[in-house]
Amino acid sequence: GFFSPALMASVTTLVPDERLPTANSMIGGADAVAGIGGPALGGLLIGLAGTGGALWFDAGTFLLSVVAVAASRIPLPAGGRRHEVGEESLRSQALAGWRLARSNRAVGDLALVASMLNMVVAPVAIILVGLAAGPLGLDGKGYGLLEAAVPIGLLAGFASAVKLGKGRHAATFALLVTGAAVAASGAVVVAWWTGALLVVAGVGIGVANTLVPTRFQRMVEPSVQGRVFALVSALSQAGRPVGLALTAPLVALAGLRGGLAVCGAAMVLVALAGRRGLDGQRTPARPAPGSALGDAAPLPA
């Protein structure tokens, strides 16, 4: 929706450059905690107050969020103007992020990574269900522990992203490690092996999900970051149903363990294809004709 691109674009105006990784890791960590704790809290509320009470509580949290956002004071980005939107056509605004991705190779590579990762990761969760019920022979408790492996790794990745992400190639390395861990997770039919590698994959995802937004925030002019994040969000969400649709033929052709290997290898290929943007390499911007976006600020060496 609108909220996530606006949130990520506002970070640059609220946080100094050197604190961007910390801010992004906090945002990602909060999402991960909510993803783990939310269902547990929902179950508790349903048990205490019934389905209706749980829904009213959920509605109340949305109301509190609206109040908190309305009370926020977010300064305009450098080069931004409050009347700027009214001066541009809706079509021009919608295409602004796309034009920048085309004119700057590093930004385009980051957009490629963000759009493709959701597609190649989407089959993993479904394959794990089949792997747990079939070759691993896990019961409900065992499957629950296996499902918890990636979220545990995510939390560890977000918590350690600032330290692990200091190198120039950290984002690329994190995705390469994630892909290798996913590919290897089905290589041996042993539950602890699969679980341990999924934790490693979660750590890599947490680090990458901290560093990729930071790369965007440092490369893209603040006044157009919202449009770029909107483009990336749309491409990312579009990739997931495609990946889910490909899951059945993938498993039919490669099997469960082979399907994990294919997904992991695809993640490695995506990371290598987008390494210029992931590494923050300096690439000259080529402004599109008639574009008022300006040059994208390169990442510091």
Determine whether 291 is exposed, middle or buried from the number of CB atoms within 10 Å of its CB (0-12, 13-18, 19+).
middle
Token code pair at residue 220: 């893209």
Closest CA to 276 of 96, 111, 98: 111
| Separation between Cα atoms, residue 274 and residue 276, nearest integer Å | 6
- CATH topology for 3-30+76-279 is Growth Hormone; Chain: A; (1.20.1250)
Confidence at 194, pLDDT banded by 50, 70, 90: very high
**How high is the pLDDT of residue 121?**
92
Confidence at 291, pLDDT banded by 50, 70, 90: very low
Query: Is the separation of the CB atoms in 118 and 240 below 8 Å?
Result: yes
Judge whether residue 127 has pLDDT over 80.
yes
Q: What percent of the chain has pLDDT over 70?
A: 85
**How high is the pLDDT of residue 120?**
93
**How high is the pLDDT of residue 79?**
54
Task: Residue 82: count other Cβ atoms within 10 Å of its Cβ.
Answer: 7
Determine whether 81 is exposed, middle or buried from the number of CB atoms within 10 Å of its CB (0-12, 13-18, 19+).
exposed
Determine whether 44 is exposed, middle or buried from the number of CB atoms within 10 Å of its CB (0-12, 13-18, 19+).
exposed
Radius of gyration from C-alpha coordinates of the chain:
21
Query: Is the separation of the CB atoms in 180 and 275 below 8 Å?
Result: no
Q: Kindly report the average pLDDT of the chain as a whole number.
A: 81
Which residues make Cβ contacts (< 8 Å) with residue 43, sequence separation at least 6?
A: none
Token code pair at residue 16: 């100094």
| Separation between Cα atoms, residue 164 and residue 171, nearest integer Å | 9
Query: Is the separation of the CB atoms in 123 and 239 below 8 Å?
Result: no
Which residues make Cβ contacts (< 8 Å) with residue 173, sequence separation at least 6?
A: 167
Closest CA to 168 of 256, 280, 66: 280
Judge whether residue 295 has pLDDT over 50.
no
Average pLDDT over residues 200-214: 92
Q: What are phi and psi of 16, to 5 degrees?
A: -65, 155
Token code pair at residue 201: 């994959």
| Separation between Cα atoms, residue 88 and residue 50, nearest integer Å | 49
Query: Is the separation of the CB atoms in 234 and 95 below 8 Å?
Result: no
**How high is the pLDDT of residue 255?**
93
Token code pair at residue 285: 């911007």
Domain spans, the chain: 3-30+76-279
Closest CA to 216 of 173, 267, 278: 278
Average pLDDT over residues 190-200: 92
Q: Which has the higher per-residue pLDDT, 14 or 78?
A: 14
| Separation between Cα atoms, residue 274 and residue 235, nearest integer Å | 15
Q: Report the range of poorest mean pLDDT among 84-98, 125-139, 150-164.
A: 84-98
Q: Report the range of poorest mean pLDDT among 88-102, 167-181, 227-241.
A: 88-102
Q: What is the pLDDT of residues 220-255, one digit of tens each?
A: 777 777 777 877 888 888 888 999 999 999 999 999
Q: What is the pLDDT of residues 53-87, one digit of tens each?
A: 888 998 998 899 888 888 877 776 655 554 454 55
